[in-house]
Amino acid sequence: MPSATYQLFREAILSAKQITCDYQGNHRELCPIILGHTLGRERALVFQFGGQSSQGLSPGGNWKCLELS
Protein backbone atom coordinates (compact mmCIF):
# COMPACT_ATOMS: atom_id res chain seq x y z
CA MET A 1 0.00 0.00 0.00
CA PRO A 2 1.55 3.33 -1.05
CA SER A 3 2.13 5.94 1.66
CA ALA A 4 0.11 9.16 1.79
CA THR A 5 3.20 11.07 0.63
CA TYR A 6 3.65 8.75 -2.36
CA GLN A 7 0.00 9.26 -3.29
CA LEU A 8 0.37 13.04 -2.97
CA PHE A 9 3.37 13.01 -5.32
CA ARG A 10 1.45 10.75 -7.73
CA GLU A 11 -1.47 13.19 -7.85
CA ALA A 12 0.93 16.10 -8.44
CA ILE A 13 2.48 14.25 -11.40
CA LEU A 14 -0.90 13.39 -12.91
CA SER A 15 -2.13 16.98 -12.45
CA ALA A 16 1.16 18.59 -13.58
CA LYS A 17 1.38 20.52 -10.30
CA GLN A 18 4.36 21.54 -8.20
CA ILE A 19 4.91 20.60 -4.57
CA THR A 20 6.30 22.60 -1.68
CA CYS A 21 7.56 20.60 1.26
CA ASP A 22 10.09 20.35 4.07
CA TYR A 23 12.67 17.63 3.45
CA GLN A 24 15.71 16.99 5.64
CA GLY A 25 15.18 20.30 7.41
CA ASN A 26 14.99 22.41 4.24
CA HIS A 27 11.98 24.05 2.60
CA ARG A 28 11.84 22.95 -1.03
CA GLU A 29 9.85 23.87 -4.13
CA LEU A 30 9.86 21.10 -6.69
CA CYS A 31 8.21 19.34 -9.60
CA PRO A 32 7.92 15.57 -9.21
CA ILE A 33 8.75 13.68 -12.41
CA ILE A 34 8.99 9.92 -11.72
CA LEU A 35 7.93 7.68 -8.83
CA GLY A 36 9.51 4.36 -8.01
CA HIS A 37 11.11 2.11 -5.43
CA THR A 38 14.70 1.29 -4.48
CA LEU A 39 15.29 -1.63 -2.13
CA GLY A 40 11.61 -1.47 -1.14
CA ARG A 41 11.67 2.25 -0.30
CA GLU A 42 9.46 4.78 -2.06
CA ARG A 43 11.39 7.39 -4.03
CA ALA A 44 10.68 10.30 -6.33
CA LEU A 45 12.82 11.90 -9.00
CA VAL A 46 12.11 15.63 -8.80
CA PHE A 47 13.39 18.88 -10.21
CA GLN A 48 13.94 21.37 -7.39
CA PHE A 49 13.63 24.92 -8.66
CA GLY A 50 13.28 26.87 -5.41
CA GLY A 51 13.72 26.80 -1.69
CA GLN A 52 16.78 25.52 0.14
CA SER A 53 19.11 22.56 -0.17
CA SER A 54 21.81 21.22 2.12
CA GLN A 55 24.29 21.38 -0.78
CA GLY A 56 23.03 24.67 -2.17
CA LEU A 57 20.73 25.18 -5.12
CA SER A 58 22.08 26.03 -8.56
CA PRO A 59 20.58 29.17 -10.14
CA GLY A 60 18.69 27.03 -12.67
CA GLY A 61 17.66 24.35 -10.16
CA ASN A 62 18.78 20.77 -9.46
CA TRP A 63 17.60 17.23 -10.05
CA LYS A 64 17.06 15.30 -6.80
CA CYS A 65 16.03 11.81 -5.80
CA LEU A 66 13.96 12.01 -2.59
CA GLU A 67 13.08 9.16 -0.29
CA LEU A 68 9.36 9.39 0.43
CA SER A 69 8.79 6.59 2.94
Say if residue 61's pLDDT is above 90.
Answer: yes
For 17-44, what is each residue's pLDDT tens digit?
999 999 999 999 999 999 999 999 999 9
Over residues 52-67, mean pLDDT: 92
Q: What is the model's pLDDT at position 69? A: 82
Residue pLDDT, tens place only, 43-56? 999 999 999 998 88
Domain range spanning residue 44?
A: 4-67
Determine the average pLDDT of the residues in 4-23: 97
- Cα 26 off chain centre by: 12
End-to-end CA distance of the chain: 11
Count of structural domains, the chain? 1
